[in-house]
Each structure stands twice: as structure tokens, then as C-alpha cells.
Amino acid sequence: MKRKNIAIVTGASSGMGKEFVLQLPDYCTKIDEIWVIARREDRLNALAKKSHVKLVPIIMDLQNNKDYDKLKEKLKSEKINIRFLINSAGFGVHGYFEEQKENEVFGMVDLNCSALTKITHLCLPYMGTNARIINMASSAAFFPQKRFAVYAASKSYVLSFSRALNVETKDRKVYVTAVCPGPVDTEFFKKDNCDINKTFYKRIVMAKPEKVVSLALRDSAQKKELSIYGSMMNAFYMTTKLIPHRILLFITKFFL
């Protein structure tokens, strides 16, 4: 029996994950199925109607360790070749660390760091030559941020992990790209607990998800380790490389 070429996308029910599902078939025409992972089955079913590639919903809460058995068993039971793994699940809460709820703080670490690592560890053995991993990081990964302490730290983990993994897997021709956008116009910035959307400069650099995803897929195809959308975010990245973080933290405390 011939192996199926599949893609796996986490956080597929909304935001960036959903956009990856919609655009991916145009960038990789050899995909037979996209396995979409999220908690909201109704949204995955609605998404399936918009896709011209077969979607296979896998209902998982990535913060529940027992749910990983679903994916583990499915990977073992089917003859597959994972062409793309897109880790898009994640969330952030803006505010002072000591004022944040325990489930918010540890939820960010669990979903942004632990879940991404677990999914990658499960899927990597099923990835062959010329496969791609795309991990959603953030421009918040570039340096520590006041009132975004845990989120920025979690995305720094994603960036560091992605870069190291990219080096480890190059010999077997599996390439890893960390996507580091600035603010993106998704549900993330529409939540009541995310007052960061009221910040003037965040509104100025707000990007459309379809453009961020399109660039991410192109950069992944070109085996780039980083995908940063927009000239302002690229300039921001260079600034965080040139100026010591303690100085940036002092400057940003006046408007973050």
C-alpha cells in the first residue's frame, strides 16, 4: 500500500492555523490529506467545506496529556509520510505577571512550548526527505517584554528550539522555519484580555494573516530558518540584535 502524503496543522480552527490549511494545498500539490488538530469540532467541519484537499479532523486539547494518545495511535495505524508539520496552536495574555491567573500563566507555557515540542517529537519519525516543519513564534521572541513576560519567553523558546532543530535535521533533509510576525489581525488581538490591540504602534504594524502565511510558506520552500513579515518587523529584528536588551527594556517601559 502506497504511503499517503499528509500535512498536520495544529490550532487549525482559527487564525493562522486556519489560514495555513487554506493556503497549503497551493504550495504543495502532492498532499493527499491535511490532518487538522483543534478542540472545536464544529469549526473544523466548517473548514473542511472550504478546502479542496481532504481534511481529517483530530479533536484534541493540546493541554491534556491523554489526548496525545489519539494522535500517537493514528500515526502508528496509517501508512503516512508527513510532508508538512505546522505548529500554529498557541495563545498569549497581556498584563503584569503577578496579576495574571495561574491557568493563563501555565497555559501559555503548556501550549506555546510543551505542546509544540510534544507534537514535533511525535511527528518527526514520520517525516521523510524534503519535509518541512513550520513553527509559529513571534516578534515577541526577539527580546524580553514588559507586560508580556511569559508570552515573549515562550516564543523565545519556540525560536531557539526551531533553530537548533533545523540544524539537527538538515542532514536528513527536514527543514524547520520559525515564523516571527508582529501583530497579526486574528482573534488573538480581539480578546477582551488583550488590551495590547489598543496600542497605537501595534495598530500601525498590524498584518493580515493571509500575507504572513503566504510569506511563511514561501520562506519554508526556500529552506529559510526565519520568516519575518514586513520591513518594520525586519528592522525591529535587526534593532534587537544591535542594541543590548537592557537598553531596549528601559526604552520600552515608557510605552508598553
Task: Determine the structural domain holding residue 85 and report its residue range.
Answer: 4-252
CATH number, domain with residue 179: 3.40.50.720
Considering the chain, what percentage of its residues have pLDDT values greater than 90?
81
Contact (CB, 8 A) for 18 and 45: no
- Residue position matching grid coordinates 524547520: 176
Q: Which range, of 37-41, 58-62, 187-191, averages the lowest pLDDT?
A: 187-191
Residue 60 CB-half CA count within 13 A: 28
- Tens digit of each residue's pLDDT (9 = 90 or more) over 186-222: 765 545 445 554 455 566 678 899 999 999 999 999 9
- pLDDT (mean) for 21-39: 93
Specify the pTM.
0.92
Contact (CB, 8 A) for 117 and 62: no
Contact (CB, 8 A) for 151 and 157: no
pLDDT(1) > 80: no
pLDDT(136) > 90: yes
4 phi and psi angles, rounded to 5 deg: -80, 140
> Which residues lie below 8 Å from residue 223, measured CB to CB, with a gap of 6+?
175, 177
- pLDDT (mean) for 14-32: 93
The tally of domains found in the chain comes to 1
C-alpha cell belonging to residue 248: 531596549
